[in-house]
Amino acid sequence: MRQIDHFMPTASPAPSRKAQVWNPSTGEIQAEVALGDAALLEQAVATAKSVQPEWAATNPQKRARVMFKFKELIEANMQELAELLSSEHGKVVDDAKGDVQRGLEVIEYACGIPQVLKGEYTQGAGPGIDVYSMRQPLGIGAGITPFNFPAMIPMWMFGMAIAAGNAFILKPSERDPSVPVRLAELFVEAGAPEGLLQVVHGDKEMVDAILDHPDIPAISFVGSSDIANYIYHRGAENGKRVQAFGGAKNHGIVMPDADLDQVVNDLTGAAFGSAGERCMALPVVVPVGEDTANRLREKLLPAIAALRIGVSNDPEAHYGPVVTPEHKARIEQWINVAEEEGGEIVVDGRGFSLQGHEDGFFVGPTLIDHVTTKMTSYQEEIFGPVLQIVRAKDFEEAVRLPSEHQYGNGVAIFTRNGHAAREFASRVNVGMVGINVPIPVPVSYHSFGGWKRSGFGDIDQYGTEGLSFWTKNKKVTQRWPDGSPDGGNAFVIPTMG
């Protein structure tokens, strides 16, 4: 059986604990991954501390060249990375390529680090006084990443952190750990010093060790909201800078004037793509008015019936299996709950079996109508190929539903009315808004982050916000006197007047 170890330059004792890595398409265990502990983390931190100062002293042009080479290597190895990713996660290969590509876009932004790292300068802020600022690295950053985007989210984190001059320790999900290790290998091949990017595997024991380690000043996390809340507060109590992004229940508002054919096309991809295992999936559709709801439902049925579920390497499949048998059982239990609470199961994906792959972790597409805000299946994240219809009587209710939900990650509105779209975008209490865009993940030179229980901490990921998170801003006020007394009073606070 294949063994997946930590990516560290230093030798470490053989791990006593391991986790199983499934092949979701077949239901077979394909590998074992080592689970580290606090002692192993200590080795990783010691290595990071030894290489980080020289990397920070390397001029940003040379750091950018490493990022450029890394970008080239990812592009050259795209097919390998996508196939490896899909074999452990279950998403189809084309979707896995999208996972890698969206992470690569942040690497492309990081290639411009000489430009984005520039500080500010004011000449003559006072008599003979100049003021300037510089952004300096924090030292060692850490990232704790989820199973659903094992390429994209690690690159979102370490791309900006390392380009800014930090070393980085990555703790990926133990469910699909191979791609993060392969990315670290390619990073060394690109010219990065060994030990600058390390990958340590583990469970809660490793997470707590990262949260408690005094030499890791900043941590980025993506996962469920309960764990995000835990990580944010424990990290903050230890004096760390923490950004922790949690769950989501993204809504798609469908106005009466929307192009329903386009909406259905967008919804089927956003709700069922990647088997719904996306924090930016669209699992709730909110048609405004009964007529809109009835017309939308009628158009959704044939579109859902046409979806092809297949193994991860099936080029004709729209989506593949979910990641583990436990997650499959959890999704189907949520469908049970929705039915018990009074939801109408219009299309039932429970008990789906793929011929020839009966042991795979497949869940069929599910459509549930007449869902209400009091149902726990609406209030909580299902994270599977389940689309719920919540009918709104008017525009005001459509604004209120996502605004009052505990999660505030993403939302979309489908309409031809510019005023309605502008009003919705301005008023809705959600961090990322799409207007006729079902999955509004911002481009790499903006930033990513949700509100409420979707995001803990004050700074978003990547873009200029990411640069701010992984650096500290030093301000310098300087004067070069000409040797003559200026007659000032040394005992009062200086002013620039």
Beta bridge partners of 471: 137
Q: Give the span between the Cα atoms of 363 and 231, in whole angstroms.
A: 31
Q: Is 404 exposed, middle or buried (0-12, 13-18, 19+ CB in 10 A)?
A: exposed
Task: For residue 463, give every residue at least 6 positions away whose Cβ sits within 8 Å of its Cβ, in sequence order, or none.
Answer: 109, 442, 444, 445, 446, 447, 448
Tokens of 339: 């039915």
Beta bridge partners of 23: 28
Q: At what angle do helices 204-212 and 225-237 cross, to 10 degrees?
A: 30
Query: Over the range 138-162, which residues count as b (16 or more CB within 10 Å of their CB) and which as e?
Result: bbbbbbbbbbbbbbbbbbbbbbbbb
Q: Give the span between the Cα atoms of 361 and 354, in whole angstroms.
A: 9
Task: For residue 248, give every residue at least 6 positions away whose Cβ sits within 8 Å of its Cβ, in sequence order, or none.
Answer: 279, 280, 281, 381, 407, 409, 410, 450, 454
Catalytically annotated residues:
279
Q: What angle do CA 12, 323, 185 make, to 5 degrees?
A: 35
DSSP assigned state of 384: S
Find out whether 122 and 132 touch, Cβ atoms under 8 Å.
yes
DSSP assigned state of 275: G
Cα–Cα distances (Å) from 131 to 353, 472, 485, 486, in that order, read 67, 17, 21, 19
List the end-to-end C-alpha distance of the chain, in Å, as a whole number. 73
